[in-house]
């Protein structure tokens, strides 16, 4: 059963994902966690690198969706400047939030 959870491909950072690589792997959307994945917990504005990466993904029509166990208000406040869709109270590691996204 746990063999389903063995990664077949992994990266060091979301910034390593290029639109071409995403498309080459047949990925249609990027689901990401919020804290310490998309943004650092102590840097709510994100980095210039993040803003540029999101711009590139948007230009290439690759949706980026935040899937977090945080509450709605926390996520909305954290990512409203990035204009990203999100799923709150995702109940990870269960699939509820991923299925919604």
pLDDT digits (tens, 9 = 90+) for 47-97: 899 999 999 999 999 999 999 999 999 999 889 889 999 999 998 888 889
CA distances to 58, 67, 71, 87, 96 from 45, in Å: 18, 18, 19, 20, 28
Domains in the chain with CATH codes: 11-100 (3.40.50.1000)
Q: Coil, strand, or helix at residue 66?
A: strand
- Tell me the pLDDT band of 44, cut-offs 50, 70 and 90: confident
pLDDT digits (tens, 9 = 90+) for 1-42: 566 667 777 888 888 899 999 999 899 999 999 988 888 877
Starting at the edge strand that comes first in sequence, how are the strands of the sheet with 64-67 ordered? Answer: 30-32, 64-67, 86-87
Which structure tokens are listed for 89? Answer: 């109270």
């Amino acid at each position: 059963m746990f063999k389903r959870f063995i990664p077949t491909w992994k990266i060091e950072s979301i910034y390593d994902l290029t639109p071409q690589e995403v498309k080459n792997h047949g990925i249609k959307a990027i689901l990401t966690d919020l804290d310490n994945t998309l943004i650092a917990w102590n840097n709510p504005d994100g980095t210039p690198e993040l803003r540029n990466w999101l711009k590139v993904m948007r230009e290439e029509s690759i949706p980026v969706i935040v899937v977090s166990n945080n509450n709605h208000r926390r996520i909305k406040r954290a990512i409203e400047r990035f204009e990203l869709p999100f799923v709150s109270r995702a109940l990870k590691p269960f699939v509820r939030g991923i299925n919604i996204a």
